[in-house]
Amino acid sequence: MGSPKIVMVGMVVVVVVVTVGGVEVMGPPPCEFPAIYNFGDSNSDTGGISAAFVPIPAPYGENYFRKPAGRDCDGRLVIDFIAEHLRLPYLSAYLNSIGTNFRHGANFATGGSTIRRQNETIFEYGISPFSLDMQIVHFDQFKSRTGDLYSEGNSDRDKLPKQEEFSKALYTFDIGQNDLSVGFRKLSDAQLRAAMPDIINQFASAVQHLYEKGARAFWIHNTGPIGCLPVATFYIRNPQPGFLDQFGCIKGQNDMAVEFNRQLKDRVNKLRAELPLAALTYVDVYTAKYGLISNTKNQGFTDPLKVCCGHHENYDHVWCGQKASINGTQYYGASCATPSTFISWDGVHYSEAANHWIADRILNGSLSEPPIPVTHACHKNPGL
Ligand SMILES: *[C@@H]1O[C@H](CO)[C@@H](O)[C@H](O)[C@H]1NC(C)=O
Ligand SMILES: *[C@@H]1O[C@H](CO)[C@@H](O)[C@H](O)[C@H]1NC(C)=O
Ligand SMILES: *[C@@H]1O[C@H](CO)[C@@H](O)[C@H](O)[C@H]1NC(C)=O
């Protein structure tokens, strides 16, 4: 990963030895992020939509938190593994009013969020009213109101961020998947492709806005292989040859995700030039997720299109944690016996075991551009 570097910090020469692939090399020191501010959808929501609308029920959360924890998962999400890796507490959701602690950041992600504002309510197809532009408005409000409370000496100070830490924080993003899912539902392929530049531009505006507010370190996940979500294939009968790939994923949907990612990566490259003080890391989560799906057996997982939680039989679906009657018989969407062998927890969201596997692939920077680990994502020219 390049040659050793000596980094000047003030008048002190700091040389840090890091291990890359078992070989010791010298590089810049880790960033010691004091906080994480996250923006996204259910892939990284740690309690927002669950607090704002209907609580996410059991058996969600059962395999790590031992109770529902506001996450669309049986346990931890990739953002939780990022927090652990940076030795920071799990992020409280900004929208959660009970038992929250924002000393080391806040989570603005909500399940069902899109980049672009949508004109439908959450009660139709689960699209969150908190699109990325609203999450940015929430961030601005969070920053200014916590700043006021802090300077007024409010007694909640120990649960609030220090103002000077906003510019040292890591700003993370995982959003775009639902812009694609809405597109698949409402638009033709050509229309969705035509909408892509606008979706990407609105994403870039969010990054630019945070930069203007002082944010400097950005960790940007691309979108996953949406056509491999079991829910995508639930209602497909007798597919034409070539409609599915060799793993059973919907090829056309994955192609659209790849196109989104191509444009996102391109735009992040441009942002590097536009925002001279920012360290922007583009993280290829797609490759991590598809790598798992295409190699499940060797990684100790079962068929990638099988779902752990819920009752899914012959085109009848009782979703995880729900009850429903099918032909007069009551069914409960229960968990499976071995959740850690499933990639999909509920047909839409990855299991904790899969999230852990994915986090292990992305945290060390091997799927990032530039290829720096998350611990070093504040360095603009890492020289690693
Ligand atoms: C919402 O969007 C759809 C599709 O773009 C459009 O047909 C509809 O008129 C819009 N509704 C409103 C209230 O804007
Ligand atoms: C319920 O009834 C429908 C129509 O008779 C049938 O197609 C379906 O397989 C039945 N579902 C179950 C779970 O028995
Ligand atoms: C990152 O971790 C993955 C999975 O453990 C490993 O295969 C890869 O070699 C690592 N890459 C680096 C640069 O350390």
Q: If you ran DSSP here, which 8-state letter would residue 348 be given?
A: S
351 is catalytic: no
Single out the catalytic residue among 42, 128, 181, 335: 42
Token duo for residue 321: 């944690």
Rounded to the nearest whole angstrom, what is the distance from the C-alpha of residue 191 to the centroid of ligand 1? 14
How far is it, in rounded angstroms, from Cα 303 to Cα 338?
13
* Three-point CA angle 227, 377, 366, nearest 5°: 50
Give residue-wise pLDDT tens across range 301-319. Answer: 999 999 999 999 888 899 9
Share of the chain above pLDDT 70, in %: 92
Instruction: Kindly state the average pLDDT of the residues 87-116.
Output: 98
Give the pLDDT band (50/70/90) at residue 8: very low
What's the pLDDT at 152?
92
Instruction: Kindly state the average pLDDT of the residues 103-126.
Output: 97
Instruction: Kindly state the average pLDDT of the residues 139-145.
Output: 98
Q: Are 126 and 111 in contact (CB under 8 A)?
A: yes
Nearest CA-CA partner of 108 in 209, 201, 195 = 209
Cβ of 337: how many Cβ atoms within 10 Å? 7
Q: Please name which ligand lies nearest the alpha carbon of 2.
A: 3
Answer yes or no: is pLDDT of 287 > 60.
Answer: yes
> pTM of the full predicted structure?
0.91
Give the pLDDT band (50/70/90) at residue 297: confident
What's the pLDDT at 21?
52
Single out the catalytic residue among 221, 311, 349, 379: 349
Answer yes or no: is pLDDT of 69 > 60.
Answer: yes
Backbone phi and psi for residue 27, each to the nearest 5 degrees, phi listed first:
-160, -175
Rounded to the nearest whole angstrom, what is the distance from the C-alpha of residue 129 to the centroid of ligand 1? 15
Share of the chain above pLDDT 90, in %: 86
Answer yes or no: is pLDDT of 345 > 70.
Answer: yes
Q: Where are the alpha helices (DSSP H) in 76-222?
A: 78-85, 122-125, 132-151, 177-186, 189-212
Higher pLDDT, 237 or 194: 194
Rounded to the nearest whole angstrom, what is the distance from the C-alpha of residue 314 to the centroid of ligand 2? 8
How far is it, in rounded angstroms, from Cα 33 to Cα 322?
39
42 is catalytic: yes
Atom of ligand 1 nearest to the CA of 120: 1
Mutate which of 281, 292, 364 to test ligand 3's pocket (most atoms within 8 Å of Cβ)?
Answer: 364
Beta-carbon contacts of residue 346 (< 8 Å; ≥ 6 apart): 60, 72, 307, 308, 309, 310, 319, 320
41 is catalytic: no
Rounded to the nearest whole angstrom, what is the distance from the C-alpha of residue 69 to the centroid of ligand 3? 30
Answer yes or no: is pLDDT of 274 > 70.
Answer: yes
Give residue-wise pLDDT tens across range 17-32. Answer: 445 555 555 678 999 9
Protein residue whose Cα sits closest to atom 6 of ligand 2: 327
